[in-house]
C-alpha cells in the first residue's frame, strides 16, 4: 500500500514565497490545520492552514466557493472555531481538502488572486485549541523511558512484565490541556521524603517536562465496536507536539496502586498546528520487535504495521530561563529524540484502546508517552537527564538545573526529513512555569 501522492512531490512550489524558503516548517507539502484569529481582536476563532509564514484563512476560502464536492464540504466544516466536525468527516474528506489546497496554493494556480486576500501573517495571529478534546489517554510507548524511570522508582524491577505485551496507558485530564503559550502555577500536593514517617503538603520541588506527541482521533467508532489494526490509521487525523508536565515528587508518592493523578492533571500543553497523517506519509518507516521479546498478539499484528507503522518524527527540547530572557540570550538545548524508537505504534495504540469496545469521538487525543531514545542524551525528561536528580545539568549560560524552576520556559520542536522529500515541521510548543499560588 502506497501512502505517497502528488501532494508530497518535492518539486512543488507555492506562490506564497515564504513556503519555498529552505528550512521552513510549513512548505506546500505540509499544510497543517489550526484554530486562529488575529491578535487582540474580537474575531471568532476559525480554521486555518499554515503555508510558509502565513495562515490561510479557511473562512475566506469557504466563502470563495472555488472548491467543489467533498473538498468544499470539508472546507466549510473546517471554517469553525473547533475542527471536530471536519475531523469526524473521515479520510476521504481530509484528503480531498488537502489535494484542493495543494493545487490552489501551487505556483501558477488560477486561484491565486482569490486566495491572496485569505493570507494572514503568523506573527499577527493567536491560537486556540484546534478542537474540543473530549477525552485524553496518555500511553507509555518508549521502552527506553519506561526502563529508565522504572529503574529510579523500582530498582529491583524496572520494567514490569506486562509492558512488552500490552500498550500501557492511563486516562488523563483533558480539561487542563491548553495551547502553546500556556503558563501555569507550580502545582501543590502531598510528597513523602524517604526518611519521613508521614507525608507533607506543599509546592512540588521536582517539576519536569515530558517530550511527547499528541495524536488526534478523527472519525470515531460506536460504543461496543473495536477498530482493527488494519483500519486503525484511517481514524487518526493527525499529530502535534505535546508537553505532558509532571510533578515527579508527587508522582513518586501517589502513583501506586492506581497510577498518575495530581502529578499529571495540573497542565498539559499542545502545539497549535495539527500535521495530518497524510502529510507524514514520506517519513514512515518499518516497525520491528526484537526477536528475544514477546511478539504482539494477533489483534496487534499486521504486515502493514511491520512495514510502515512507525514514523521518524524528530523532536528536541530547549530551556529558556528567566535570566536568559533578561539577557536576550538563546535558549539552551537539552536533548533530541525520535518517535521511531517507540515500542508500540499509533495503530497498535488505537487498536488496543478500542479492543474492549471503548468508543472514540472526533477530537479525542492520545499522548505517545515520553519519547526517549536509546542514548542518555536522547532522554525526553529531566528525570532521566539528571538521573533522578543525582546529576546536575549545566546550561549554555552556566546556570544549572536538576528540575524546572519558576520562570523557566520549555520549548519543544518537531520536524521530519527524508531523502527525496521536502522537510516539514510542527512548529513549536512552549509553556512557562509560574510560582505556586
Q: Which residues are part of the catalytic machinery? A: 145
Buried-exposed string 357-370: b where 16+ CB fall within 10 A, e elsewhere: ebbbbbbbbbbbbb
Is the separation of the CB atoms in 208 and 245 below 8 Å?
A: yes
C-alpha grid cell for residue 67? 472548491
CA distance 374 to 356: 32
**69: alpha, beta or left, given left = phi > 0 and alpha = psi -120 to 50?**
left
Task: In whole angstroms, give the CA distance from residue 205 to residue 267.
Answer: 16
| Number of CB atoms found within 10 A of residue 193's CB | 11
How far apart (Å, rounded) are the C-alpha atoms in residues 384 and 372? 9
Q: Concatenated DSSP letters for 131-149?
A: S----EEEE---HHHHHHH
Q: Residue for cell digits 508536565?
A: 245
- CA angle (396 as vertex; 391, 399 as ends), nearest 5: 55
CA dihedral 199, 201, 205, 208 (to 10 degrees): 90
Which residues, other chains included, contact 213 with Cβ-Cβ below 8 Å and sequence gap of 6+? 239, 240, 241, 242, 313, 315, 339, 367, 368, 371, 414
**8 A C-beta contact, residue 77 and residue 144:** no
Q: 84: closest CA among 245, 261, 266, 217? A: 217
Q: Label residue 181 exposed, middle or buried (CB < 10 Å: 0-12, 13-18, 19+).
A: middle
Decide: 3 and 278 in contact? Cβ < 8 Å.
Answer: yes
Nearest to 432 by CA among 263, 178, 182, 127: 182
Angle between helices 91-105 and 69-78 (to 10 degrees): 90
DSSP 51: E
Amino acid at each position: 500500500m502506497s501512502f505517497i501522492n502528488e501532494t508530497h512531490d518535492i518539486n512543488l512550489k507555492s506562490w506564497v514565497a515564504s513556503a519555498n524558503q529552505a528550512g521552513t516548517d510549513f512548505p506546500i507539502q505540509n499544510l497543517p490545520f489550526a484554530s486562529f484569529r488575529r491578535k487582540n481582536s474580537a474575531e471568532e476563532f476559525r480554521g486555518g492552514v499554515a503555508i510558509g509564514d502565513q495562515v490561510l484563512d479557511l473562512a475566506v476560502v469557504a466563502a470563495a466557493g472555488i472548491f467543489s464536492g467533498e473538498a468544499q464540504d470539508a472546507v466549510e466544516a473546517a471554517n469553525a472555531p473547533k475542527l471536530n466536525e471536519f475531523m469526524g468527516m473521515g479520510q476521504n474528506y481530509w484528503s480531498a481538502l488537502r489535494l484542493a489546497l495543494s493545487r490552489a496554493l501551487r505556483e501558477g494556480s488560477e486561484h491565486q488572486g482569490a486566495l491572496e486576500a485569505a493570507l494572514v501573517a503568523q506573527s499577527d495571529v493567536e491560537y486556540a485549541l484546534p478542537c474540543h478534546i473530549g477525552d485524553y489517554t496518555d500511553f507509555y510507548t518508549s521502552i527506553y523511558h519506561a526502563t529508565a524511570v522504572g529503574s529510579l522508582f523500582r530498582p529491583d524491577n524496572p520494567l514490569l512484565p506486562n509492558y512488552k505485551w500490552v500498550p500501557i496507558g492511563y486516562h488523563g485530564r483533558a480539561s487542563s490541556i491548553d495551547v502553546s503559550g500556556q503558563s501555569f502555577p507550580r502545582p501543590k500536593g502531598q510528597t513523602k521524603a524517604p526518611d519521613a514517617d508521614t507525608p507533607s503538603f506543599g509546592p512540588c520541588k521536582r517539576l519536569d517536562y515530558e517530550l511527547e506527541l499528541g495524536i488526534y482521533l478523527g472519525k470515531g467508532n460506536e460504543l461496543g465496536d473495536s477498530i482493527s489494526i488494519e483500519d486503525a490509521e484511517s481514524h487518526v487525523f493527525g499529530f502535534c507536539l505535546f508537553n505532558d508536565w509532571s510533578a515527579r515528587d508527587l508522582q513518586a508518592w501517589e502513583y501506586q496502586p492506581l497510577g498518575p493523578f495530581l502529578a499529571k492533571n495540573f497542565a498539559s500543553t499542545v502545539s497549535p498546528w495539527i500535521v495530518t497523517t497524510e502529510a507524514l506519509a514520506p517519513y514512515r518507516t518499518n516497525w520491528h520487535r526484537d526477536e528475544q521479546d514477546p511478539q504482539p498478539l494477533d489483534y496487534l499484528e499486521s504486515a502493514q504495521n511491520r512495514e510502515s507503522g512507525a514514523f521518524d518524527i524528530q523532536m528536541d527540547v530547549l530551556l529558556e530561563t528567566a535570566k536568559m530572557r533578561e539577557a536576550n540570550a538563546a535558549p539552551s538545548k537539552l536533548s533530541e529524540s525520535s518517535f521511531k524508537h517507540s515500542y508500540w505504534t499509533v495503530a497498535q495504540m488505537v487498536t488496543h484502546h478500542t479492543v474492549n469496545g471503548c468508543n472514540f469521538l472526533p477530537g479525542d487525543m492520545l499522548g505517545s508517552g515520553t519519547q526517549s531514545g536509546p542514548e542518555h542524551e536522547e532522554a525526553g525528561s529531566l528525570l532521566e537527564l539528571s538521573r533522578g536528580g543525582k546529576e546536575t545539568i549545566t546550561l549554555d549560560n552556566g546556570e544549572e538545573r536538576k528540575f524546572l524552576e519558576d520562570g523557566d520556559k520549555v520549548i519543544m520542536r518537531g520536524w521530519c526529513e527524508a531523502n527525496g522529500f521536502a522537510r516539514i515541521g510542527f512548529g513549536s510548543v512552549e509553556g512557562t512555569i509560574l510560582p505556586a499560588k
